[in-house]
């Protein structure tokens, strides 16, 4: 399975890009060449050089250091979002898929209603309540992704419920919840993994968008979206300010998407229309 | 256009010699590595006009590949490697695409297995039926329609005009297959390829469709290539037979001769695998039955739209007033067509569906109304073996874990004991130690079914519900699994409730038989009484529709046997209970009563009209 997955060139390129992003996020932040927060107004808007690989910003902070710092925040927020939305979404989807009856239908009505909101607009509303912080972003994004996860998992569990091995477990006298957790949910793991990969990409992009709008991680902490927003006033004098975070976002997303596609093709070609 | 006229010219002028001749045909599958695996090796046969030739074999024998190669409908990667497919002098294997298109659907027609998907659901029957006539013959719609009406009448569609304006979903499987047949034969093809045309249909409908196909093709002089796994049906309809195994021709010749005097070892094995009446010591029902089903009603809600969850759903009664006893150690077969409610009774017995009325007693205790504890105890005593060996095992679990899970609800066993018992059970069903750590996908269908049986019996149940447990298996495998079930019964004394549509299997293993139709049990009795002295008209029709091949007494050969028992008058003052379209008589009024017509042999009757008039004051 693994060897077949990496026979796909998409998977190789994607995995390499993701690896760079993860290394930057986890280790890079500990070894930033300069402090990413403290101002140094003597060195405002220095062009890329041997000393500052990607130049400095309007407060004289090293762009490369801020990029590494931003990576850790972006990855942390995206990863947490995926974790929360998959955990809750899969549970809701599995329960509503496995147990039919009016409670399931009511829950699905709510889920469908949530799906009707444009995700960014809903995130704006949630952040207005929780305030602009990484926790706020995680809650906002999770809330918008839970319905998507719940829908996919529910559809899978609905068909798995009819499988004869699930019925066999019920005939044995096993509790319904046990049967669901032991036989139905594990067999829906493949689409959940594929969806989680896609969600990671969406979350990365949405986090950047929210930070760009000033609703994400508040300054002076760096985030890729925030760096992009700050660069707007100086883009003609100091283009590196925009190019560095822009490329970081694009390449990370490309990596996640390539890998996600390969994973999807490997696990389940039928999911092409879903994700 | 020129080719079209040529094709119709060919089809109208009868020629001597075979319509289709397959010569040294090789078919291979190209694998990823570049090597080829041979699927069909050196196939040779020919079909004369008006003749039916059957390709017979188990799954993987290559029979379907040969049929598909003729119209070049082979799946990707599979190709003709050598030999010739001669149709009226032309080699179809090397024909150009335009000429092939002219033949497809025109001079060569095809009927597929699955009637539910072979008609386009978006188009009216009339549009689909006339399509080929307009394309190949250049007929106007009106003329083509008239032609189709004739044919629909020939395949005995009740209202042909309404049929042409209807959509496929408005018809049952059997009706659709007749419509498919009519639209294929409307072209008066010289060759008809029928790939398992009736496998998805119930016995009675199967006979109707095959009778019509045989009659019409004989009349039109159409050569038929029948692909089938069912030796009984082949013996009844095909004049010639080719027996295939793993792509190689084992034996070929006149069907009667091949069956009466099989030359090849494989043919003999295949014939010997057919279910035959087994010698069973009759189980004398002694004492109270193990399971008593009384007046069982089961309703299903019809699917409703997801939003209207406050509305009461329409109900459909799947089982009506069923009464059944299951005694310890006996095999009770429940026979009926799809949708008769036979599966529902079995599922109610293992508590997969709830009843709407009536009771189910196990060892005297009503399990439809008992404490959770009693129900848990009952679950260990009742088990089920399912039909589809490919979806009845969790693909993520090892065999040892699958079987051990059957012991999960048994208390007081250590982990080692559970494991040891699971290994012992696997050995009991004929799977040695080294299977324990394997996953289901590494197993064949027959082996999977053995695992299902091991899982079902590991906790020591008193009875098993076997829902079409051997229907999905090839006959040679089926024979082994049936033998296993019989041996286990002898050893452990299980009772079986054997749900099936296959009367051959019933005859082999059942002690008693219950015949069910549209939710009602119509006849119940000892196996020999049902097969030799069936009373209800529906039972008789079912028996007559099922072709049976029997060993010639004292010989090595076999012959096709027609069912001989005759219709008998109902007990005095009664008529046979009848609801729906069993006979031409109108449905009987009121509830049926089961009248005894022999020892333990009961048949559903209703008071006759005369009786009712007498009774009324």
Q: What is the CATH number of the domain that holds B234?
A: 3.40.50.300
CB A89 within 8 A of CB A145: yes
Query: What region does B62 belong to: left with phi over 0, alpha with psi -120 to 50, or beta?
Result: left
The strand pairing partners of B605, in sequence order, are: B576, B593
Residue ranges with strand state E in B468-616: 495-500, 512-517, 520-526, 548-551, 558-561, 574-576, 593-598, 601-607
Q: Pick from B239, B272, B305: which residue ends a domain?
A: B272
Q: Given A164, A172, A183, which is nearest B388 (Cβ)?
A: A164
The pLDDT assigned to B284 comes to: 63
The pLDDT assigned to B10 comes to: 40
> Under 8 Å CB-to-CB from B296, ≥6 apart: which residues?
B319, B321, B322, B323, B324, B345, B348, B355, B357, B358, B359, B360
A173 lies within 8 A of chain B by CB: yes
The pLDDT tens digits for A79-107 are 999 999 999 999 999 999 999 888 888 99
Residue B42 lies in a domain: yes
The number of beta carbons lying within 10 Å of the beta carbon of residue B530 is 29
The pLDDT assigned to B611 comes to: 52
Instruction: Report d(CA B72, CA B94) in Å as an integer.
Output: 10
Residues of B in contact with A167 (CB under 8 A): 352, 384, 386
pLDDT band at B612 (very low <50, low <70, confident <90, very high): low
pLDDT at B600 over 60: yes
Quick one: angle between helices B203-220 and B537-545, nearest 10? 50
pLDDT at B327 over 50: yes
Mean of the pLDDT values across residues B391-401? 92
Which tokens in the block code for residue B495? 């009772």
pLDDT band at B589 (very low <50, low <70, confident <90, very high): low
The pLDDT assigned to B454 comes to: 95
pLDDT at B8 over 70: no
pLDDT at B15 over 60: no
One domain for residues B222 and B334: no
pLDDT band at B288 (very low <50, low <70, confident <90, very high): confident
Do B408 and A163 count as a contact with CB atoms less than 8 A apart?
no
- Minimal Cα–Cα distance from A82 to chain B, Å? 25
* Structure-token match 């109900």, residue found: B315
Indicate the pairing of strand B382-385 with strand B463-467.
parallel
Indicate the pairing of strand B223-228 with strand B574-576.
unpaired
Residues of B in contact with A168 (CB under 8 A): 384, 386, 392, 452, 455-456
> Under 8 Å CB-to-CB from B63, ≥6 apart: which residues?
B55, B56, B57, B227, B228, B244
> What ipTM, to 2 d.p.?
0.78
* Structure-token match 């190019």, residue found: A243
- Minimal Cα–Cα distance from A166 to chain B, Å? 8
- Minimal Cα–Cα distance from A126 to chain B, Å? 28
One domain for residues B135 and B196: yes
Distances in whole angstroms, Cα of residue B232 to Cα of each of B86, B199, B546: 29, 12, 8
Do B379 and A171 count as a contact with CB atoms less than 8 A apart?
yes
Q: How many CB pairs under 8 A join A and B?
A: 53
The pLDDT tens digits for B504-534 are 899 999 999 999 998 899 999 999 999 988 9
Mean of the pLDDT values across residues B81-91? 87
Which secondary-structure segment (H or E) carries B333? strand B331-335
Residue B302: give the domain boundaries: 291-501
One domain for residues B218 and B169: yes
Looking at the domain A6-20+63-267, which fold is it?
A: MetI-like fold (1.10.3720)
Instruction: Report d(CA B125, CA B490) in Å as an integer.
Output: 54
Q: Pick from B218, B239, B272: which residue ends a domain?
A: B272
pLDDT band at B310 (very low <50, low <70, confident <90, very high): low
pLDDT at B486 over 70: yes
Query: Which letter, b or e, does each residue of B149-172 get, where b requires 16 or more Cβ atoms within 10 Å of its Cβ?
Result: bebbebbebeebeebbebebeebe
- Helix, strand, or coil (residue B202): coil
Mean pLDDT for chain A overall: 84
Of all residues in chain B, the percent with pLDDT exceeding 70 is: 91
Residue B528 lies in a domain: no
CB A213 within 8 A of CB A227: no
Among the ranges A146-160, B87-101, B121-135, which has the highest mean pLDDT value? A146-160
Instruction: Report d(CA B195, CA B55) in Å as an integer.
Output: 9
Residue B507 lies in a domain: no
The pLDDT assigned to A274 comes to: 45
Where do the structural domains in chain A lie, given as residue ranges? 6-20+63-267
Of B432, B477, B487, the residue nearest B457 (C-alpha): B487
> Under 8 Å CB-to-CB from B586, ≥6 apart: which residues?
B578
Omega before residue A220 within 30° of 0, cis? yes
Residue B520 lies in a domain: no
Mean of the pLDDT values across residues B76-92? 87
Of all residues in chain B, the percent with pLDDT exceeding 90 is: 43
The pLDDT assigned to A128 comes to: 86
Mutation target among A97, A113, A155, A171 for the B interface, most CBs of B within 10 A:
A171
Predicted structure pTM score: 0.83
Mean pLDDT for chain B overall: 86
The pLDDT tens digits for A120-175 are 788 888 888 888 888 888 998 999 899 999 999 999 999 998 889 999 998 988 99
One domain for residues B171 and B267: yes
Number of domain units in chain B: 3
pLDDT at B4 over 70: no
A104 lies within 8 A of chain B by CB: no
- Minimal Cα–Cα distance from B391 to chain A, Å? 6
Residue B311 lies in a domain: yes
Q: Specify the higher pLDDT residue, B277 or B585.
A: B277
CB B116 within 8 A of CB B200: yes
pLDDT band at B3 (very low <50, low <70, confident <90, very high): very low
The pLDDT assigned to B471 comes to: 87
pLDDT at A219 over 90: no
One domain for residues B494 and B583: no
Instruction: Report d(CA B61, CA B237) in Å as an integer.
Output: 21
Report the alpha-carbon angle B510-B512-B515, nearest 5. Answer: 100
Which secondary-structure segment (H or E) carries B385? strand B382-385
A105 lies within 8 A of chain B by CB: yes
């Amino acid at each position: 399975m693994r060897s077949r997955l990496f026979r796909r060139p998409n998977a190789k390129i994607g995995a390499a890009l993701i690896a760079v992003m993860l290394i930057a996020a986890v280790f890079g932040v500990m070894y930033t060449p300069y402090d990413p927060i403290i101002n140094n107004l003597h060195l405002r808007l220095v062009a890329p050089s041997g000393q500052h690989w990607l130049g400095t910003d309007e407060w004289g902070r090293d762009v490369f250091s801020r990029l590494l710092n931003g990576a850790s925040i972006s990855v942390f927020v995206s990863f947490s979002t995926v974790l929360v939305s998959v955990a809750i979404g899969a549970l809701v989807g599995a329960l509503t898929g496995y147990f039919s009856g009016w409670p399931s239908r009511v829950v699905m009505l709510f889920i469908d209603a949530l799906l009707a909101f444009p995700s960014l607009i809903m995130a704006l509303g949630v952040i207005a309540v929780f305030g602009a912080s990484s926790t706020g972003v995680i809650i906002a994004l999770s809330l918008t992704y839970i319905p998507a996860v719940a829908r996919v998992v529910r559809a899978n569990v609905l068909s798995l419920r009819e499988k004869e091995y699930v019925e066999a477990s019920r005939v044995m006298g096993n509790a319904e919840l046990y049967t669901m957790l032991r036989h139905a949910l594990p067999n829906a793991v493949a689409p959940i993994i594929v969806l989680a990969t896609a969600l990671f990409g969406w979350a990365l992009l949405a986090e950047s968008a929210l930070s760009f709008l000033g609703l994400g991680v508040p300054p002076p902490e760096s985030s890729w979206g925030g760096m992009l927003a700050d660069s707007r006033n100086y883009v003609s004098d100091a283009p590196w300010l925009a190019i560095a975070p822009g490329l970081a976002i694009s390449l990370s997303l490309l990596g996640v998407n390539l890998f996600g596609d390969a994973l999807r093709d490997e696990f389940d070609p039928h999911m092409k229309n879903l994700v | 256009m020129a080719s079209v006229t040529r094709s119709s010219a060919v089809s109208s002028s009868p020629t001597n010699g075979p319509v289709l001749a397959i010569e040294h045909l090789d078919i291979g599958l190209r694998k990823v590595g570049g090597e080829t695996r041979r699927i069909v090796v050196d196939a040779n046969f020919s079909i004369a006009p008006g003749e039916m030739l059957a390709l017979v074999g188990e799954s993987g024998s290559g029979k379907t590949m040969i049929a598909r190669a003729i119209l070049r409908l082979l799946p990707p990667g599979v190709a003709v490697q050598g030999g010739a497919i001669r149709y009226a002098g032309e080699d179809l294997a090397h024909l150009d695409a335009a000429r092939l298109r002219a033949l497809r659907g025109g001079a060569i027609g095809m009927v597929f297995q699955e009637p539910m998907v072979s008609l386009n659901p978006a188009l009216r029957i009339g549009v689909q039926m006339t399509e080929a006539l307009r394309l190949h013959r250049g007929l106007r719609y009106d003329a083509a329609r008239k032609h189709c009406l004739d044919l629909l009448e020939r395949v005995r569609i009740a209202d042909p005009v309404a049929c042409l304006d209807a959509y496929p979903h408005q018809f049952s499987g059997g009706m659709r297959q007749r419509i498919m047949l009519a639209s294929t034969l409307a072209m008066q093809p010289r060759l008809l390829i029928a790939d398992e045309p009736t496998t998805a249909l119930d016995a009675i409908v199967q006979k109707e469709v095959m009778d019509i196909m045989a009659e019409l093709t004989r009349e039109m002089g159409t050569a038929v290539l029948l692909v089938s796994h069912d030796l009984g049906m082949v013996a009844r309809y095909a004049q010639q037979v080719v027996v295939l195994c793993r792509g190689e021709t084992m034996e070929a010749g006149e069907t009667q001769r091949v069956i009466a005097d099989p030359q090849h070892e494989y043919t003999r094995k295949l014939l010997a695998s057919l279910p035959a009446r087994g010698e069973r010591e009759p189980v004398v029902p002694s004492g109270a039955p193990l399971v008593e089903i009384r007046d069982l009603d089961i309703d299903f809600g019809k699917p409703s739209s997801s939003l209207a969850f406050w509305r009461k759903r329409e109900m459909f009664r799947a089982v009506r007033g069923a009464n059944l006893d299951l005694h310890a150690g006996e095999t009770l077969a429940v026979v009926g067509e799809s949708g008769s409610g036979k599966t529902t009774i079995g599922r109610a017995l293992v508590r997969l569906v709830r009843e709407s009325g009536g009771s189910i007693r196990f060892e005297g205790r009503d399990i439809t109304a008992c404490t959770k504890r009693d129900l848990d105890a009952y679950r260990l005593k009742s088990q089920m073996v399912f039909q589809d060996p490919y979806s009845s095992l969790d693909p993520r679990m090892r065999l040892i874990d699958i079987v051990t899970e059957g012991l999960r609800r048994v208390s007081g066993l250590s982990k080692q004991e559970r494991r040891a018992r699971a290994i012992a059970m696997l050995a009991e069903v004929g799977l040695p130690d080294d299977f324990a750590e394997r996953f289901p996908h590494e197993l064949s269908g027959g082996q999977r079914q053995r695992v299902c049986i091991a899982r079902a019996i590991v906790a020591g149940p008193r009875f098993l519900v076997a829902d079409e447990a051997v229907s999905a298996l090839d006959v040679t495998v089926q024979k082994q699994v049936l033998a296993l079930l019989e041996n286990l019964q002898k050893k452990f004394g299980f009772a079986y409730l054997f749900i099936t549509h296959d009367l051959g299997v019933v005859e082999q293993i059942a002690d008693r038989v219950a015949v069910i139709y549209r939710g009602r049990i119509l006849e119940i009795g000892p196996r020999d009484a049902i097969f030799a002295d069936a009373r209800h008209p529906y039972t008789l029709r079912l028996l007559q529709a099922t072709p049976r091949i029997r060993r010639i007494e004292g010989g090595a050969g076999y012959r096709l046997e027609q069912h001989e028992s005759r219709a008998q008058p109902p007990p005095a003052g009664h008529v046979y209970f009848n609801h729906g379209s069993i006979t031409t008589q109108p449905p009987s009024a009121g509830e049926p009563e089961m009248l005894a017509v022999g020892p333990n042999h009961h048949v559903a009757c209703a008071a006759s009209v005369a009786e009712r008039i007498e009774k009324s004051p």
